[in-house]
Structure 1
Amino acid sequence: MLGPALREIKRALPESRITLLASPSGSQAAPLLPWVDEVLIERALWQELDAPAEPLPAEEHRLVARLATGRFDAAFIFTSFSQSPHPPAYAAYLAGIGVRVGQSKEFGGGVLTKWVRKLPDETHQADANLHLIEELGFPVLKRDLEVSVDERVRAEMDLMLSANGISPGEPFIAMAPGATCQARRYDINRFAEVARRLARLTGLRLVVLGGPGEVPLARRILDAVPLASAVSLTGVGGVPGLAAVLKRASLLLANDSGPMHLAEAVGCPMVILFSGTELESQWQPRSTPARLMRRETPCAPCYGFRCPRDMNCLDFSPTEVIEEALAMLQRARVHLTGE
């Protein structure tokens, strides 16, 4: 979601050097962002869900020293609707960074040199990020998500697909059953049933995708379909490899997760099981064909990590999901050879 803002900064200031301060997980997307010149990977305290068992001030002093070493002219602090820019802005202040820009609803003293008032919470995250630089006078010529996949990565993933019997130009369905938390995941048994029936109805191969921690979910899908109908590339190629595979896929079937955003950036049509944890307006694909499936529930948006209500927001039968997937494939004019 940060890519459009970085792209427009680089377009306006082509000689500038952009350093991305990112978490270990967030840094995995950096190779896809050609506007980034350097990445600083930090597990910052303000991004942790829980407070440490005891204070570790030496870690924060080390971060400030690292920022000071960079001799940065400015710190642009991009946050989601629920995050505060003030902790990182204070670190930047201590590091001697003279220009510190962030969006907030709350007063934060003098830690920000430019306090940008936030847009409403329902604003799309890409637009919220662009709003920050627009308030600084940067022109925005394009708002769509965009990534750049290295040719070497693309070639490696093409070889991997070929080794698994998927030839260049052959249509296939990508499936990503994982998500960052339980409250965003469609029931894996239903997901596996969708996979089994889609393979039979379409005649297309299935490619299961995800991070290393999602291998068990991929195995559940592979166990449900005939051996020749599906392959797992889960945990292979990292985020750049995932983007390369999605660029070739005819359809993505996934939860509200990273693959959804990558699919939008590379133009892969998708059907998304979008749980009630978030507002669709904040994260939904806008420039790529997508069908978001969610049952209306009084608890949405809950912003929770675990659901105590049987995931009513994703109570869709496999048949309903399959119908949406077939409609999207038909819309994309994909040739089907199944039953």
Structure 2
Amino acid sequence: MRGRVLVARMDNVGDVLLSGPCVRAVAAGSDAVTMLAGPRGRAGAELLPGVDDVIEWCAPWIDPEPPELTDDAVDSLVKQVRDVRPDAALILTSFHQSPLPLALVLRMAGVPWIGAISEDYPGSLLDLRHRVNGDPPEAERALSLAEAAGFRLPDHDHRALAVRRPLPDTTELTGEDGYVVLHPGASVPARQLSAHRCRQAVRALADAGHRVVVTGHPGERELTAEVAADVALDLGGATDLTGLAGVLDRACAVVVPNSGPAHLAAAVGTPVVSLFAPVVPAARWAPYGVPTVVLGDQTAPCRDSRARECPVPGHPCLESITPGQIVAAVAELTEGGQRTRRTGGRS
């Protein structure tokens, strides 16, 4: 299938980054790829190898703070899609999301062929109704849709996550390579270790001889300052997503909750200590394609609840993680030099 293909992934940066192998497969078998992303994921879409241009639109049935669905909003998306004239579209969704509302809008925009993973009867909204057996990692689930549509990754492709290179040189921010990054923030509180525990981890890592860099987006400056204290370098709010990729790229390991920066670390090939709350399955959402140590009680009562706020007093699934466990996990990942540089696809 040649021509221009639209690939949609409408939620967060991490979800968009996990679509990377799927996007590269589509890019290898098409003339151009337009990525349709939400405002929370656009920066990730712009980092993906194989993406030629990006359309941004907020899907009211997916965004956690959904806007009102209006005629004007739908008309705006229809116009943007018509302007790029895609020959086909693939709609990527998580298992709990439906592709059908977006498929309807894409049909209104005149897209002649649409494929998606769908358990629900799609009628004439989909030309390819793909189903996935088992519970594979999210990146493999998305790639399976591309393969079902006839797109294949080239034999030389590493099949892991990747970002466009070159990345910015962040030496002026961080100093020389080889530091450990601790990123304390997550998109929802249920996935986030407390600032107190993170601060303890920073101290323990420093005591073990590591130079520690604390990162966070601009809205997390208070958090990163508290976690870094007088021990670590505080880069809270100092970078955009591309700059953060550069910081993570030059780290020897990243300590991070289940969040976009965990998948960004995987995309640049840096080993990850994943502080993983089991509100979603680690088998599906843990960092993909890099050496990883998952910490956190994966059998906790909140398991598979998709809770945004921890339903268990004391947040035991994460707060039970000790600084010593984090130090040991970093040692496990760094002593063997388990670093994998990432390249990938059409830039």
Q: How does 1:1-339 map to 2 (within 5 A)?
A: 1-13=18-30, 16-49=31-64, 52=67, 56-120=70-134, 122-140=135-153, 141=155, 142=157, 143-150=159-166, 153-155=167-169, 157-161=170-174, 166-167=175-176, 170-202=177-209, 204-223=210-229, 225-226=230-231, 230-295=232-297, 296-309=299-312, 310-314=314-318, 315-332=320-337
Q: Which stretches of structure 1, 4 residues or more, deviate above 6 A after TM superposition?
A: none
> How many angstroms apart in 2 are the aligned matches of 1:319 and 1:84?
42
Structure 2 gap ranges (5+): 1-17, 340-347
Distance 1:95 1:246, change over 3 A: same
Q: TM-score by structure 1 length?
A: 0.87
Distance across 2 between alignment mates of 1:181 and 1:257: 9
Query: Partners of 2:301 and 2:228 in 1: how far apart?
Result: 35
CA contact (8 A) 2:256 2:273 kept: yes
Q: How far is 1:55 from its partner? A: 5.0
CA distance in 2, matches of 1:40, 1:286: 26
Q: Bigger shift: 210-219 or 273-282?
A: 210-219
CA distance in 1, matches of 2:255, 2:131: 36
Supply the distance in 2 between the matched residues of 1:266 and 1:49 (Cα, whole angstroms): 27
Shift of 1:249: 0.3
Answer 1 or 2: higher relative contact order, Cα 8 Å, separation at least 6: 2
Q: Counterpart of 1:154 in 2: which secondary structure?
A: coil
Q: Is the 8 A contact 2:91 2:103 kept in 1?
A: yes
CA deviation string 1:197-220 (max 9, x = no partner): 211221x32111121122111011
Partner Cα separation in structure 2 for residue 176 and residue 49 of structure 1 = 22
- Kept in 2, the 8 Å contact 1:190–1:318? The answer is yes
Task: Give the 3 Å change call, closer, same or farther, for CA 32–257 of structure 1 in structure 2.
Answer: same
Paired residue secondary structure (1:123): coil
Root-mean-square deviation (CA), in Å?
A: 1.9
Kindly indicate which of the two structures has a greater share of residues assigned to helix: 1
Q: Using the alignment, how far apart are the partners of 2:141 and 2:147 within structure 1?
A: 10
TM-score calculated relative to the size of structure 2: 0.85
CA displacement, residues 112-142 of structure 1 (integer Å, 9 cap, x when unaligned): 122112333x221111111111112222344
Distance (whole Å) between structure 2 residues aligned to residue 40 and residue 333 of structure 1: 36
The structural deviation recorded for 1:333 is 8.5
Per mean C-alpha deviation after superposition, the further-off stretch among 318-327 and 128-137 is 318-327
Matches of 1:55 and 1:47 in 2, distance apart? Answer: 12
Shift of 1:66: 2.1
SS state at 2:61 partner: helix
Does structure 2 retain, via aligned residues, the 8 Å contact 1:104–1:118? Answer: no
**Which amino acid in structure 2 is aligned with residue 179 of structure 1?**
A
Distance 1:106 1:305, change over 3 A: same
Deviation at 1:19, TM superposition (A): 0.7
Cα distance in 2, alignment partners of residues 21 and 171 from structure 1: 36
Say if 1:18 and 1:38, in contact at 8 Å, map to a contact too: yes
CA contact (8 A) 2:215 2:236 kept: yes
Asked if 2 retains the 8 angstrom alpha-carbon contact of 1:176 and 1:253, the reply is yes
Higher Cα radius of gyration: 1
